[in-house]
Amino acid sequence: MAEASREFFDRSGLAATIARNVSNLEVLLNMGFPKERAEKALAATGDRSVQLASDWIFAHVDDTSLDEKVPREYVLFACPTGPLVTQLDEYSEKTLVHCGRNGSHNSFPHVTLCSFFAVPDSTVPKVVHAVLTVAGRLSCREVPAKVSLDFYSSSSFVGLFVDDRSAAFLRNASQEFANEVLKTTGIEVKAHKKQLHITLAYQFNPSQQKKLEELARDIDTSMPAQWDLRLYSRDTRRAKSDVVRVVHPLPPSNDDELELVRGDYIYLEPDELVSSSDGWLRGVSWLTGCAGLFPGNYTEKAAETDTWTLHRCVPVISLRGSSSTRASAPPLSPTQLPPLPSEPSTLSSTTRAPVPDRRNGPSRPPLEEMYSQVQKSRPVSNSKPAPPRQLYILRHGERVDVVFGKRWMNACFVNGEYSQQDLNLPRKLPSREGSPLSFAEDSPLTEMGWFQARLTGEAMKRAGVHISQVYSSPSLRCVQTADAILDALGLRSAMKIRVDPGLFEWLYFYKASGLPKLMTMKELLDFGLNVDPTYHPIVPVSDWSRTEDVVQYYQRNHTVVQSVLGSTDGNTLICAHAGSLDSCSRHLQGLSARTQREAVKLMVKIPYCGMAVFQEVKEAGIWDQVEPPIHTLTHSPNHKFDWRVLQS
């Protein structure tokens, strides 16, 4: 669908239109989209770009409600960022493990400044302008140096109350926003006048209150934080829906079934989860607006706010007490909006200038032509040339949390002791700091996952594959996979695994949950994994960024691969993640990073222990993909893997 809209955009001859600094709406109208659809698409995507809005329209072509005139609901939040949010995220994770889900897990940390209010799609730009106007006024006033938070608990609520001075500042901002919206649109907004607070827990079982309070008192509210005004919107029709996230893709088998696309969200009626008797649920896709049946075990519970749209984010209270913040640094402009990690914009939302499309990267001549040129320039020699080097990139084996759910630890740990509750669960687990919570974002292999890795290593040995060095992502499942393959190759005593954080998967996947707590080299060694404790990473964890976009992700992986290939004349094995087969090889082939949508669509096609092999074309300065020397590994739910998928 993105390709279709790009083709349409390219055929429309809109260069002159864009150059006139016209609005995204005008561009969409010139492309031929009906005004109502264009306005709805811009509202649903936060007016990020023409490309994203047109993609949204094409994705919703089968949505029977596409042309319904239903306004979205908007709300203004004050949201903290920085070290304080890390504390709040850790509290949310701990309460989920120890006490189960409560109402607070349905959103991120925030202070609500007004009630939800409906806005027609055509009026949204005026509401956005109201946020910027108010932020501009606030920047000229005395701003609180810091927002202080006081702990409060009752039988139905655990939270943090904002101090009086900061609350007055935020209430004033909320009231001015309400006045501005009323003046420019005629829409009434009810600014909150009650005690402002961050909710830590509500709608919980009374028996959990003591534990929730105990965990809340561990939050260090003195940690520095920047506070932003954020304008969000949601689909009015889904305001009371439950939300689940697709974790396993599944094509529909019948006309009444919903296609499951990994990363999509599905809206459910409030009683759908409990009323289903056969595990099949009826829902509506957030991505396409289409409705249908789907198996519930292919999804997991998600926060309602995951489906909301961010329209503006304006810093109003600076980060204090952080060594990385310079006192002389100029404040952010009220019109500055941090980019969302989505499809690259065709138009900048600020300058309206065209953004070059880099998704296909630099062009290169056909491989046949390059090989011909290489042959002509190669000196005549009677000696047999050495075989070209090869790079083997492999996804890890089956992971526990995908098979048994994100909270598998709840059933397996009693008083801190692990017990195998299923034959496919690991027979034993390593001792590590933060256990069992640390396994939530750093899952081990299942027993089947270890067997997959072992089978792959044995097949490589039969095929005569020779490895000179092996590298792994720091994820436990990746290190376990590399260890099993080395053992099967008979190289475990002769070769150690070099663990490099630069090979970790895309950090955007951890933007909401926070970066995972990885095992130390000592913990890996104590568990019996054959890692190299003397290895110095090329990209250490300290270089990670939770705001990493897809281009930076590809570059981070390439930085490591480029370095490790320069350290040997032999073959290299890398054990990492689904996206690694492409992110670690894309630049080696003379191509640039894929777009976010293209990268995610490719990731879901890589099965456990899926392998890609690349061979050096030394004279041309690239590495070309070749057929793997071993057969694919196919079993349920592993689909048959076609290695040529990376060439699409």
Q: Hey, which residues does 231 pair with through a beta bridge?
A: 76, 312
Region 626-638 average pLDDT: 84
Cβ pair 429, 418 in contact under 8 A: yes
Task: Give the Cα separation of 495 and 572 in Å (integer).
Answer: 12
Q: What percent of the chain has pLDDT over 90?
A: 56
Region 328-345 average pLDDT: 33
Q: Which CATH class is domain 72-236+306-317?
A: alpha beta
Does 110 participate in catalysis according to the annotation?
no
**117-119 and 72-81 as β-strands: parallel, antiparallel, unpaired?**
antiparallel
Q: Which residue's structure tokens are 């590495």?
A: 623
Return the pLDDT at 81. Answer: 87
Return the pLDDT at 261. Answer: 87
Which entry of 577, 586, 594, 597 is annotated as an active-site residue?
A: 577
Region 403-408 average pLDDT: 86
Structure tokens at 387: 């075989």
Nearest to 553 by CA among 504, 516, 515: 504
Cβ pair 306, 246 in contact under 8 A: no
H/E stretch holding 448 reads helix 447-462
Region 92-105 average pLDDT: 91
In which band, very low, low, confident or very high, does the pLDDT at 173 lie, cut at 50, 70 and 90?
very high
Every domain of the chain with CATH number 3.90.1140.10 lies at: 72-236+306-317
pLDDT at 595 over 70: yes
In which band, very low, low, confident or very high, does the pLDDT at 48 lie, cut at 50, 70 and 90?
confident
**149-153 and 157-162 as β-strands: parallel, antiparallel, unpaired?**
antiparallel
**Which residues, 6+ apart, have CB-to-CB distance to 422 below 8 Å?**
404
Return the pLDDT at 326. Answer: 27
Structure tokens at 604: 């879901």
Which entry of 60, 395, 477, 587 is annotated as an active-site residue?
A: 395
Q: What percent of the chain has pLDDT over 70?
A: 85
Cβ pair 49, 346 in contact under 8 A: yes
Does 577 participate in catalysis according to the annotation?
yes
Q: Output the average pLDDT for the chain.
A: 84
Return the pLDDT at 502. Answer: 96
pLDDT at 596 over 60: yes
Q: What's the pTM?
A: 0.52
Tally of CB atoms within 10 A around 420: 13
What is the per-residue DSSP string for 104-164? Answer: GGGS-S-EE-B--EEE-GGGHHHHHHHHHHHHHHHTTSPPPS---EEEEE-SSEEEEEEPH
Cβ pair 518, 565 in contact under 8 A: no
Return the pLDDT at 597. Answer: 85
pLDDT at 83 over 90: no
Q: What fold characterizes domain 1-69+349-356? A: Helicase, Ruva Protein; domain 3 (1.10.8)
Which entry of 396, 477, 498, 558 is annotated as an active-site residue?
A: 396
Task: Give the Cα separation of 55 and 33 in Å (integer).
Answer: 12
Every domain of the chain with CATH number 1.10.8 lies at: 1-69+349-356
Q: Which residue's structure tokens are 């392998």?
A: 611
Does 230 participate in catalysis according to the annotation?
no
In which band, very low, low, confident or very high, does the pLDDT at 220 lie, cut at 50, 70 and 90?
very high
Region 426-430 average pLDDT: 95
Every domain of the chain with CATH number 3.40.50.1240 lies at: 389-402+443-643
Which is more confident, 194 or 557? Answer: 557
Return the pLDDT at 325. Answer: 30
In which band, very low, low, confident or very high, does the pLDDT at 369 lie, cut at 50, 70 and 90?
very low
Task: Give the Cα separation of 386 and 378 in Å (integer).
Answer: 14
Which is more confident, 369 or 632? Answer: 632
In which band, very low, low, confident or very high, does the pLDDT at 375 lie, cut at 50, 70 and 90?
very low
Tally of CB atoms within 10 A around 280: 12
Report pLDDT digits (tens) over 498-540.
999 999 999 988 877 788 889 999 999 999 999 999 999 999 9
**469-472 and 572-576 as β-strands: parallel, antiparallel, unpaired?**
parallel
H/E stretch holding 299 reads strand 299-301
Written as one letter, the residue type at 408 is W
The alpha-carbon radius of gyration of the chain (Å, integer) is 27
CATH 3.40.50.1240 assigned to domain 389-402+443-643? The reply is: yes
Nearest to 304 by CA among 263, 244, 258: 244
Region 154-159 average pLDDT: 92
Q: Which residue's structure tokens are 């475990």?
A: 492
